[in-house]
Amino acid sequence: MGIKDTLPDFQSFLRSGKLAPEKNIPFLALWASRFLFFIAGKSHADSGALIIEFLDSLKAQENIADWQIRQAEEALLLYLNHFKGGESLNAVRTGTAAEASLSAQAHILAEMKRLLRLKHYSYRTETAYLDWARRFFRYVEETAKDGAAAPLTSAEIKNYLGHLAIKRRVSSSTQNQAFNALIFLFRDVLGQVITGLSGTVRAKRGKKLPVVLSVEEVRALFSNLTGSPLLIAHLLYGAGLRLMELARLRVQDIDFDAGLLIVRSGKGDKDRSTILPEAIREPLRLHLGKVKALHERDLAAGFGEVHMPDALDRKYPNAGREWIWQFVFPSAKLSIDPRSGKVRRHHASEKAIQTAIAFAVRKAGIAKHATVHTLRHSFATHLLMSGVNIREVQELLGHKSIETTMIYTHVMREMQNVPMSPLDALLKEDP
């Protein structure tokens, strides 16, 4: 829903009465829509007090200029005193609740998207946060009593998280992602102070040991892969990469001479270097030769551009077509970039990589819940078992805290120093 679709009857009223310049009408409707959404969670009916409260909330937001606040005040006077003709605030709430809710939600989501990109959140996080905001809106509307206007309050966050934990029984990571998304929605988008969440049902993640493959199991997994999937698996295990770190790897991030891979903007937006296994350097060179040929065909067809991180595409407009910026593992097909709308060759799909590894695990007969990330766990554990210092493993993995890396020492002990069961001792004594 665009800005021109906001409160269409109000916009028509302004046009017919020539009450505002044409260019201002959509924005006046937008401010009226935001006000209706704002009062939906308020119980008192003093319109003057609510207008002042709404305008004060706008003044508290750094990204709203003084002229916009004056425009918002004009919009409310036109909407309440002229368009609604002095109707009671309760009537205004009831008569326009559905229209205002949908319109306001669309603009809130658009503002949320803008702020997520302004703060350089990843596209995956942007998609997840927007999805949680939509689910939250639906929940609030469905649980509102007697069709009353759905409020957006801290209490509703608490109720929704409780619903996820108790009724939906979601995992701890899912629940915590929902919590973070809603905090962003209220704090950064709506400009509301969040209080009273100390008693919120929040997921507590207990201590979990990662799934780790033995050296023989890794070898068996590799034996069931060929071509690019095998090279991908070699890098995941040989360099300890996360799935998206591997997918986003670019040609310039490979240093063959130093034997290093450079991970750009990994978890926590941090760069780090890790091992480039010597055993796969030549296969990797051959693979890059094929990728370069594909890139040259794309350029000849008028394409060949890849997504550039941050604002580098504006700073270096032609860099996206340069060889050094191409993905090491490109997608088999061209696609439309969801942010820019340009036709580009993105990196290989994470789903395709996950499917290939899962197939190899099943074919190898590995009776463990092994995933792509299991290869990273195995990389860390096997390094510790071979005597590598834990601090060095921490750096290779890109862990912020040594405590995160310490989990692999527990796995290592279990794999190396398994005590004899008392049953074995007992049966050995039997004749």
Please state, as a whole number, how many other Cβ atoms lie within 10 Å of the Cβ of residue 250: 17
Q: Contact, 104 vs 33, CB < 8 A?
A: yes
CATH class of domain segment(s) 215-414? mainly alpha
DSSP-derived pairing of the beta strands 343-344 and 335-336:
antiparallel
Q: What is the CATH number of domain 3-189?
A: 1.10.150.130
Helix (H, G, I), strand (E, B) or coil at 211: coil
Q: Contact, 280 vs 305, CB < 8 A?
A: no
Nearest to 191 by CA among 81, 54, 324: 54
Q: Contact, 72 vs 55, CB < 8 A?
A: yes
Q: Contact, 333 vs 350, CB < 8 A?
A: no
The whole-number pLDDT of residue 62 equals 66
Domain ranges of the chain: 3-189, 215-414
Residues annotated as part of the active site: 242, 267, 373, 376, 399, 408
Helices (H), 2-151: 8-16, 25-39, 47-59, 66-77, 89-118, 123-143
**153-191 per-position pLDDT tens digit:** 777 888 888 888 888 888 888 888 998 999 999 888 887
Fill in the DSSP letter of residue 17.
Answer: T
Widest Cα–Cα separation across the chain: 105
Residue type, 99: E
Do domains 3-189 and 215-414 share one topology? The answer is: no
Which CA distances in Å does 218 have to 221, 293, 358, 408? 5, 32, 13, 17
Q: What is the pTM of this model?
A: 0.64
Nearest to 38 by CA among 1, 83, 85, 79: 79
The whole-number pLDDT of residue 192 equals 76
Euclidean distance between CA atoms 66 and 173, whole angstroms: 41
The set of long-range contacts for 194-198, using a CB threshold of 8 Å and a minimum separation of 24, is 194/154, 194/157, 195/154, 196/154, 196/155, 196/158, 197/154, 197/157, 197/158
Euclidean distance between CA atoms 329 and 347, whole angstroms: 6
Helix (H, G, I), strand (E, B) or coil at 127: helix
Encode the chain (431 residues) as per-residue pLDDT tens digits: 455 566 788 888 888 877 888 888 888 888 888 888 777 656 555 566 677 777 777 877 767 777 888 888 888 878 877 777 655 555 544 444 445 455 567 778 888 888 888 887 877 888 899 899 988 988 887 787 655 555 677 778 888 888 888 888 888 888 889 989 999 998 888 877 777 665 555 556 667 788 999 999 999 999 999 999 999 999 999 999 999 999 999 999 999 999 999 999 888 778 999 999 999 999 999 999 999 999 999 999 999 999 888 667 777 888 889 999 999 999 988 887 766 777 889 999 999 999 999 999 999 999 999 999 999 999 999 999 989 999 999 999 999 889 888 888 877 766 666 677 787 777 877 65
Q: Hunting for tokens 């060095």 — which residue is that?
A: 392
The whole-number pLDDT of residue 400 equals 87
Please state, as a whole number, how many other Cβ atoms lie within 10 Å of the Cβ of residue 192: 17
Helix (H, G, I), strand (E, B) or coil at 249: coil
